[in-house]
Amino acid sequence: MKVTRVTRVTKVTRVTRVTRGWFWVPMVLVAQMAGAQQLPAGSGAEVLKARCVSCHESDIITSQKLSLTGWTNSINKMVRWGSQITPEEREILQPYLAMHFGPRPAASHAANGGVSAAASTDAGAATYKRACQTCHDADIIEQQRLSKTGWTRSVEKMMRWGAQVTDADKEALVDYLVSRFPAR
């Protein structure tokens, strides 16, 4: 009878472990579907859901604001990093991304919230040329159109990845990027 009891506990333990593991699967799937459901309808939406949203949250995609060339370059980079996307899927996806998440004309680059900070703008512009354009083409940066929070995150990420931007330069650079390439 003791053996039966031990076997029974073992079975319960196994069932509990399996149940705990499977508990998270529906939650992850629901979270992925919720992100994917925010995407605009179109022929590329299914490709985007299958190939992009499996690794990236949809907000990272929708915030890019790239031209067709920019999206092509981005997809080329993902393919180099191991993304499995066919040429046929690319022909559907790239125009979809450019149409729904492409650049929009800026109202004005001159507007900077009424703050006159020529020295800060000059310092930010110098850091932009020295640090950002060392690795990135201007069109990729200009197409981002991020909020101040978005630019701050992007600059901090680049700093972690080795961009030569000091903490003292960071604020001027972010202010320059926000004034020159504001969110739309």
13 or 139, which is more confident = 139
Average pLDDT for 46-59: 85
In sequence order, the β-bridge partners of residue 182 are: 146
Sequence-distant (6+) residues with CB within 8 A of 162 are none
User: 20 falls in which pLDDT band (50, 70, 90)?
Assistant: low
| Domains of the chain, residue spans | 2-100, 118-180
Backbone angles phi, psi at 109, to 5 degrees: -90, -15
Judged against a pLDDT cut of 90, whether residue 122 lies above it is answered with no
d(CA 36, CA 45): 9
User: 120 falls in which pLDDT band (50, 70, 90)?
Assistant: low
CA distance from start to end of the chain:
72
Question: For 118-180, which CATH superfamily applies?
Answer: Cytochrome c-like domain (1.10.760.10)
